[in-house]
């Protein structure tokens, strides 16, 4: 089956510190359907001197060797070309005392018939969009380091189907867009519009510059084949630099069953797009030539000679100034490049230290982060600095045992019942599971959302808890009242004092409701008196020497844990503060702590970091009473999270967004 493809190049971002190029090449008329087509997406970082030469060498080597003997097996042609590229890059390395030629983010692919071959190094990746699913088909290709120091060590191959969208990126695109959003962006029928959709999503998240190549495959008709055969040139060669947003190959070519019906700007064969024309000195040269031509048209004279001398002196002074500026810039670039080399060394050292001394590794990474930020803020080498900052984040994630939940499972969608729902928290009581907002309660039954119940038309709910002793749900309102939902009925609760204290959060233990009062740095204890059908008077649980200002949540497992808005966790037992520490603290401190959860049925304490959409897990140490950090879950693409709950029986973690409930297995 013949396929046709439209492809498009796109560069996203404004920084211009790294060298970015896309290449495409094929020979159809000379070799017919055995030709094949090669694409190269290339970025060279930290080597502005040799970057262009390296890119050109890779392209010309692939071009020469891959098309040298088209009678060979396609895989062998691709493998042979890669070996030659490795050899050329080895020569570049041998010319450097350190063997370092910059960070290479390169993906090379060849398409012959309906088969795609690819090799990759660095952060460059290839994504396959098929039937609304996205897969990273370049994953793992550069994981195994070669003993010979080869840059390209593995080859992947696979068949292309009608409807496939192949996307090549010079950076790890999934740092900036989820698989779900990427699949949506690539679901259109026009490759240019699809890439623009990707650009719109990622441009607000990234600081650097990314080169993209998109290919959209469809079934080719006989008319497609005939039209291409009549218009094809002997060779199609395209080299595209990062000088404009959209650039496309301008030749239509056919390579066996792979027909490229490219739409876009037309370019002549072997044309190189170089951006904004000639250099500054070329323009100055023309102006000088015109000046002297006009100056001496009327003959020589003292005034004209003096004017010429003044002009020459001015030009020389400008040239000296430019030369000195270039020298200063080069010196600054070398200095910043040395800092980035030092950052890379610190990153490697921290990975080693982290296996036995996490605190020391944290200090090393913090220093690496500061140095990378220095480079970023300098205005030079921003792409390289961003790359190092991303590497630091990756190492921190690794040492912190971070699980990234890229596509969280939606357990329940509250908008099926109320389009403008703004959920606040979870409530669990007697195996019943609820979500509440400021004036409504939603019960979740086997992942189905029940019709909302109005809590009260006038009161605004700010907190709630299951009250196991009465098999009910208790709400705390902004006005300092308590409302109970029991046996299908909402009713106000009462106390012997006649009025409740004002608090920010409540939790239950036995027949008591504990209220966190951050303003008074107190936890009030309300015992329910069944014989009088109301609570007793408020009892101060803590002494007078505690500071709970900034307190936002509490959890009880026999001991009482409180969470402050600065991330501090305190522990109390029988009304007294306990000496309490968090051991093996994570690299990333709480940025927006929102909730703490534990119970007497689990061995962990969970803390929710709202705006970061992550849950940090700590294990209780029975010997010391401390908690030990173990791991965290990071939920991609869910926005701010409001609350969390752990099902101790099924070992599932539930997190609450403004309108949806997500779940993940523990």
Task: Note the pLDDT tens digit of each residue in 498-518.
Answer: 899 999 999 999 999 999 999
pLDDT at 400 over 70: yes
Same-domain pairing of 234 and 292: no
Burial class (CB in 10 A: 0-12, 13-18, 19+), 11: buried
The SS3 call for residue 143 is: coil
Burial class (CB in 10 A: 0-12, 13-18, 19+), 276: exposed
pLDDT at 602 over 80: yes
327/227 Cα distance (integer angstroms)? 54
315/309 Cα distance (integer angstroms)? 10
Same-domain pairing of 505 and 617: yes
Task: Confirm if 22 and 39 have CB atoms less than 8 A apart.
Answer: yes
Strand order in the sheet with 660-665: 409-413, 660-665, 652-656, 643-647
Same-domain pairing of 476 and 588: yes
Extract the tokens encoding 116: 């795609």
Other Cβ atoms closer than 10 A to 413: 14
3-state SS record for 36-99 = CEEEEEEEEECCCCCHHHHHHHHHHHHHHHHCCCCCCCHHHHHHHHHHHHHHHHHHHHHCCCCC
Q: Quick one: which H or E segment has residue 202?
A: helix 191-202
In which band, very low, low, confident or very high, does the pLDDT at 381 lie, cut at 50, 70 and 90? confident
pLDDT at 568 over 80: yes
CATH number of the CATH domain containing 545: 2.120.10.30
Backbone φ, ψ for residue 305 (5° rounding): -65, -45
Closest alpha carbon to 564 in 480, 645, 505: 505
* Predicted local confidence at residue 270, as pLDDT: 30
Sign of the CA dihedral running 483, 609, 523, 465 = positive
Highest mean pLDDT among 219-223, 309-313, 367-371, 441-445: 441-445
CA dihedral 233, 237, 242, 244 (to 10 degrees): -10
Task: Confirm if 607 and 615 have CB atoms less than 8 A apart.
Answer: yes
Same-domain pairing of 96 and 123: yes
Identify the domain boundary among 399, 423, 445. 399
For 325-339, what is each residue's pLDDT tens digit?
A: 667 677 778 888 888
In which band, very low, low, confident or very high, does the pLDDT at 12 lie, cut at 50, 70 and 90? confident
Top pLDDT among 364 and 253 is at 364
596/544 Cα distance (integer angstroms)? 24
Distances, alpha carbon 481 to alpha carbons 395, 477, 528, in Å:
48, 5, 15
368/634 Cα distance (integer angstroms)? 23
Extract the tokens encoding 248: 């496309």
Distances, alpha carbon 405 to alpha carbons 299, 614, 633, 636, 666, in Å:
81, 10, 7, 6, 12
* Predicted local confidence at residue 233, as pLDDT: 42
* Predicted local confidence at residue 289, as pLDDT: 52
Which of 89-98, 113-122, 465-474, 518-527 comes out lowest in average pLDDT? 89-98
In which band, very low, low, confident or very high, does the pLDDT at 450 lie, cut at 50, 70 and 90? very high
| Widest pairwise Cα distance in the chain | 120
Burial class (CB in 10 A: 0-12, 13-18, 19+), 59: buried
Identify the domain boundary among 373, 399, 425. 399
In which band, very low, low, confident or very high, does the pLDDT at 625 lie, cut at 50, 70 and 90? very high
535/382 Cα distance (integer angstroms)? 62
* Predicted local confidence at residue 31, as pLDDT: 58
Buried b (16+ CB within 10 A) or exposed e, 602-626: bebbbbbbbebbbbbbbbbeeeeeb
Instruction: Give the helix ranges, DSSP H, for 471-594.
Output: none
Computed over its alpha carbons, how large is the radius of gyration of the chain? 33
Same-domain pairing of 288 and 261: no
In which band, very low, low, confident or very high, does the pLDDT at 151 lie, cut at 50, 70 and 90? very high
Highest mean pLDDT among 51-55, 340-344, 507-511, 580-584: 507-511
CATH number of the CATH domain containing 93: 3.60.40.10
398/457 Cα distance (integer angstroms)? 49
656/446 Cα distance (integer angstroms)? 16
Mean pLDDT over all residues of the chain?
82
Task: Confirm if 375 and 348 have CB atoms less than 8 A apart.
Answer: no
Mean pLDDT of the 41-47 span: 88
405/444 Cα distance (integer angstroms)? 23
pLDDT at 458 over 80: yes
Task: Confirm if 655 and 612 have CB atoms less than 8 A apart.
Answer: no
Task: Confirm if 329 and 321 have CB atoms less than 8 A apart.
Answer: no
pLDDT at 624 over 60: yes
Same-domain pairing of 284 and 269: no
Identify the domain boundary among 273, 293, 324. 273
Mean pLDDT of the 619-624 span: 93
Same-domain pairing of 427 and 373: no
Q: To which residue do tokens 């007697």 refer?
A: 430
Top pLDDT among 225 and 270 is at 225
Ramachandran category for residue 13: left, alpha or beta (phi over 0 → left; psi -120 to 50 → alpha)? left
510/502 Cα distance (integer angstroms)? 21
In which band, very low, low, confident or very high, does the pLDDT at 244 lie, cut at 50, 70 and 90? very low
pLDDT at 468 over 80: yes
Task: Confirm if 655 and 610 have CB atoms less than 8 A apart.
Answer: no
Residue-range definition of the domain harbouring residue 287? 280-399
**Rounded percentage of the chain residues whose pLDDT exceeds 90:** 44
Same-domain pairing of 383 and 451: no
Q: To which residue do tokens 């970061």 refer?
A: 612
Mean pLDDT of the 137-150 span: 77
Same-domain pairing of 263 and 309: no
Same-domain pairing of 247 and 368: no
Extract the tokens encoding 593: 């702590």
44/463 Cα distance (integer angstroms)? 54
Extract the tokens encoding 534: 């109301």
Burial class (CB in 10 A: 0-12, 13-18, 19+), 651: exposed
Top pLDDT among 220 and 528 is at 528
Same-domain pairing of 258 and 302: no
Top pLDDT among 265 and 636 is at 636
Extract the tokens encoding 45: 């970082």
> How many domains is the chain partitioned into structurally?
3
Mean pLDDT of the 490-497 span: 94
Closest alpha carbon to 184 in 194, 192, 175: 194
76/73 Cα distance (integer angstroms)? 5
Strand order in the sheet with 569-573: 551-556, 560-564, 569-573, 576-577
Extract the tokens encoding 552: 């936002």
3-state DSSP helix/strand/coil percent for the chain, to nearest 5?
Answer: 25, 35, 40
Task: Confirm if 105 and 171 have CB atoms less than 8 A apart.
Answer: yes
Same-domain pairing of 26 and 66: yes
In which band, very low, low, confident or very high, does the pLDDT at 486 lie, cut at 50, 70 and 90? very high
């Amino acid at each position: 089956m013949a396929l046709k493809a439209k492809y498009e190049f796109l560069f996203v971002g404004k920084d211009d510190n790294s060298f970015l190029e896309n290449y495409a090449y094929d020979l159809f008329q000379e070799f017919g359907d055995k030709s094949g087509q090669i694409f190269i997406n290339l970025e060279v970082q930290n080597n502005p001197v040799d970057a262009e030469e390296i890119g050109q060498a890779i392209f010309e080597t692939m071009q020469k060797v891959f098309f040298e003997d088209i009678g060979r097996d396609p895989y062998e042609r691709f493998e042979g070309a890669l070996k030659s590229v490795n050899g050329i890059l080895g020569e570049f390395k041998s010319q450097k005392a350190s063997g370092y030629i910059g960070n290479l983010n390169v993906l090379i692919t060849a398409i012959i018939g309906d088969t795609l071959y690819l090799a990759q190094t660095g952060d460059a990746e290839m994504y396959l969009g098929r039937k609304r699913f996205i897969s990273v088909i370049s994953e793992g290709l550069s994981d195994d380091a070669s003993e010979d120091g080869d840059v390209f060590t593995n080859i992947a191959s696979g068949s292309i189907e009608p409807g496939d969208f192949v996307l090549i990126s010079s950076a790890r695109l999934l740092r900036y867009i989820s698989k779900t959003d990427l699949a949506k962006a690539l679901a259109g029928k026009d490759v240019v519009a699809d890439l623009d959709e990707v650009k719109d999503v990622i441009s607000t998240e990234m600081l650097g510059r990314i080169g993209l190549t998109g290919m959209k495959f469809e079934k080719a008709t006989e008319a497609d084949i005939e039209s291409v055969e009549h218009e094809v040139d002997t060779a199609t060669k395209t080299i595209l630099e990062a000088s404009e947003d959209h650039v496309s190959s301008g030749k239509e070519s056919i390579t066996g069953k792979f027909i490229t019906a490219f739409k876009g700007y037309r370019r002549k064969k072997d044309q190189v797009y170089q951006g904004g024309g000639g250099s500054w000195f070329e323009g100055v040269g023309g102006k000088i030539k015109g000046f002297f031509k006009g100056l001496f048209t009327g003959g020589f004279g003292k005034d004209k000679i003096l004017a010429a001398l003044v002009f020459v002196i001015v030009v020389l002074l400008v040239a000296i100034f430019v030369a000195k500026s270039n020298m200063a810039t080069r010196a600054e670039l070398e200095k910043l490049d040395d800092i980035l080399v030092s950052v890379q060394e610190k990153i490697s050292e921290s990975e080693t230290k982290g296996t036995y001394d996490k605190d020391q590794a944290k200090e090393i990474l913090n220093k690496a982060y500061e140095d990378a930020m220095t480079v970023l803020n300098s205005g030079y080498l921003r792409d390289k600095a961003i790359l190092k900052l991303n590497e630091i984040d990756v190492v921190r994630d690794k040492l912190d045992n971070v699980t990234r939940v890229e596509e969280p499972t939606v357990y329940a969608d509250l908008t099926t019942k109320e389009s403008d729902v703004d959920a606040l928290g979870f409530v669990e009581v007697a195996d019943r599971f609820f979500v509440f907002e400021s004036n409504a309660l939603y019960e979740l039954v086997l992942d189905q959302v029940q019709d909302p119940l109005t809590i009260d038309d006038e009161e605004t709910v700010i907190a709630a808890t299951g009250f196991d002793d009465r098999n009910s749900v208790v709400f705390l309102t902004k006005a300092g009242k308590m409302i109970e939902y029991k046996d299908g009925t909402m009713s106000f609760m009462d106390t012997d004092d006649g009025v409740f204290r004002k608090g920010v959060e409540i939790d239950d233990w036995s027949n008591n409701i504990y209220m966190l009062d951050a303003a008074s740095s107190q936890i009030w204890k309300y015992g329910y008196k069944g014989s009088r059908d109301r609570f007793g008077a408020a009892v101060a649980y803590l002494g007078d020497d505690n500071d709970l200002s900034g307190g936002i949540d509490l959890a009880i497992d026999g001991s009482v844990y409180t969470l402050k808005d600065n991330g501090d966790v305190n522990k109390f037992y029988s009304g007294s503060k306990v000496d309490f520490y968090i051991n093996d603290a994570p690299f990333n401190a709480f940025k927006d702590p929102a909730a703490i959860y534990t119970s007497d049925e689990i061995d962990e304490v969970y803390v929710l970091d709202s705006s970061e959409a992550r849950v940090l897990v700590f294990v209780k140490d029975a010997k010391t009473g401390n908690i030990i950090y173990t791991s965290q879950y990071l939920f991609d693409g869910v926005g701010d999270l409001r609350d969390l709950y752990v099902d101790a029986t099924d070992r599932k973690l539930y997190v609450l967004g403004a309108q949806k409930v997500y779940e993940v297995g523990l």
